[in-house]
Structure 1
Amino acid sequence: MSRQRLIAFLTALAVAVGLAILVPLASTASAAECTTPYSSSAVYTGGMTASYNSHNWQAKWWTQGETPSTGGSGVWADQGSCGSGSGGTGGTTGGSGNCNYPAWVAGHNYVAGDIVKYTNGNYYKASHDNPGYDPVISTWYWDPYGCNGGGGTTPPSNGSFVVSEAQFNQMFPSRNSFYSYSGLTAALSAYPGFATTGSDTVKKQEAAAFLANVSHETGGLVYITEIDKSGNYCDANQSYGCPAGTYAYYGRGPIQLSWNFNYKAAGDALGVNLLNNPSLVETDSAIAWKTGLWYWNTQTGPGTMTGHNAMVNGAGFGETIRSINGSIECNGGNPAQVQSRINAYQNFVSILGVPAGNNLSC
Structure 2
Amino acid sequence: MALLAAVLVATGLTVTLTPSATAASTASTATVCDTAPNWQQGVWYTTGNVVRYNGAYYIAEHDNPGYDPTVSTWYWNPHTCGGGGNPSPSGFVVSESQFNQMFPNRNSFYTYSGLTAALSAYPGFANTGSDTVKKQEAAAFLANVSHETGGLVHVVEQNQANYPHYCDWSQSYGCPAGQAAYYGRGPIQLSWNFNYKAAGDALGIDLLSNPWRVQNEAAVAWKTGLWYWNTQSGPGTMTGHNAMVNQAGFGHTIRSINGSLECDGKNPAQVQSRVTKYQQFTQILGVPTGSNLYC
For the aligned pair, the TM-score class normalised by the smaller chain equals: 0.7 to 0.9
Mapping 1:158-169, distance limit 5 Å: 159=89, 160-169=91-100
CA offset at residue 99 of structure 1? 2.4
Asked if the contact 1:274–1:280 (Cα under 8 Å) also holds between the matched residues in 2, the reply is yes
User: What is the alpha-carbon distance in structure 1 between the residues aligned to residue 240 and residue 48 of structure 2?
Assistant: 21
Q: Report the counterpart of residue 339 of structure 1 in structure 2.
A: 272
Mapping 1:51-200, distance limit 5 Å: 93-95=36-38, 98-101=40-43, 117=44, 120=47, 149=68, 159=89, 160-200=91-131
Superposition misfits of 4+ residues, deviation over 2 angstroms: 62-65, 90-96, 98-101, 117-124, 146-158
Q: Report the counterpart of residue 214 of structure 1 in structure 2.
A: 145
Q: Report the counterpart of residue 241 of structure 2 in structure 1.
A: 308
Q: Report the counterpart of residue 161 of structure 2 in structure 1.
A: 230
Mapping 1:214-293, distance limit 5 Å: 214-231=145-162, 232-293=165-226
Change in 2 beyond 3 A, CA 1:121/1:163: closer
Q: Which structure has the higher relative contact order (CA within 8 Å, separation 6+)?
A: 2
Asked if the contact 1:174–1:220 (Cα under 8 Å) also holds between the matched residues in 2, the reply is yes
User: What is the alpha-carbon distance in structure 2 between the residues aligned to residue 216 and residue 202 of structure 1?
Assistant: 21
User: What is the alpha-carbon distance in structure 2 between the residues aligned to residue 229 and residue 300 of structure 1?
Assistant: 27
Change in 2 beyond 3 A, CA 1:91/1:194: closer
CA offset at residue 314 of structure 1? 1.0
Change in 2 beyond 3 A, CA 1:165/1:299: same
Q: Report the counterpart of residue 4 of structure 2 in structure 1.
A: none
Give the letter aligned to residue 274 of structure 1. Answer: L
User: What is the alpha-carbon distance in structure 2 between the residues aligned to residue 218 and residue 209 of structure 1?
Assistant: 14
User: What is the alpha-carbon distance in structure 2 between the residues aligned to residue 312 and residue 64 of structure 1?
Assistant: 26
Asked if the contact 2:182–2:191 (Cα under 8 Å) also holds between the matched residues in 1, the reply is yes
Asked if the contact 2:24–2:222 (Cα under 8 Å) also holds between the matched residues in 1, the reply is no
Give the letter aligned to residue 178 of structure 2. Answer: G
User: What is the alpha-carbon distance in structure 2 between the residues aligned to residue 155 and residue 293 of structure 1?
Assistant: 21
Q: Report the counterpart of residue 14 of structure 2 in structure 1.
A: none
Runs of 5+ consecutive residues of structure 2 not aligned to the other structure: 1-22, 52-64, 70-74, 83-87
User: What is the alpha-carbon distance in structure 1 between the residues aligned to residue 155 and residue 184 of structure 2?
Assistant: 8
User: What is the alpha-carbon distance in structure 2 between the residues aligned to residue 290 and residue 170 of structure 1?
Assistant: 22
Asked if the contact 2:175–2:193 (Cα under 8 Å) also holds between the matched residues in 1, the reply is yes
Q: Report the counterpart of residue 329 of structure 1 in structure 2.
A: 262
Give the letter aligned to residue 264 of structure 1. Answer: K
CA offset at residue 326 of structure 1? 0.2
CA offset at residue 100 of structure 1? 2.5
User: What is the alpha-carbon distance in structure 1 between the residues aligned to residue 286 and residue 76 of structure 2?
Assistant: 29
TM-score, normalisation: structure 1: 0.62
Asked if the contact 1:221–1:254 (Cα under 8 Å) also holds between the matched residues in 2, the reply is yes
Deviations 1:73-122 (A, max 9, x none): xxxxxxxxxxxxxxxxx9764347x5234xxxxxxxxxxxxxxx256595
CA offset at residue 289 of structure 1? 0.2
User: What is the alpha-carbon distance in structure 2 between the residues aligned to residue 304 and residue 292 of structure 1?
Assistant: 18
Identity %: 68
Change in 2 beyond 3 A, CA 1:255/1:91: closer
Deviations 1:52-85 (A, max 9, x none): xxxxxxxxxx6767x9xxxxxxxxxxxxxxxxxx
Which structure's residues are more often helix, by fraction?
2
Asked if the contact 1:123–1:152 (Cα under 8 Å) also holds between the matched residues in 2, the reply is no
Deviations 1:305-356 (A, max 9, x none): 0000000101100000000000000011111100000010000001011111
Change in 2 beyond 3 A, CA 1:312/1:156: farther
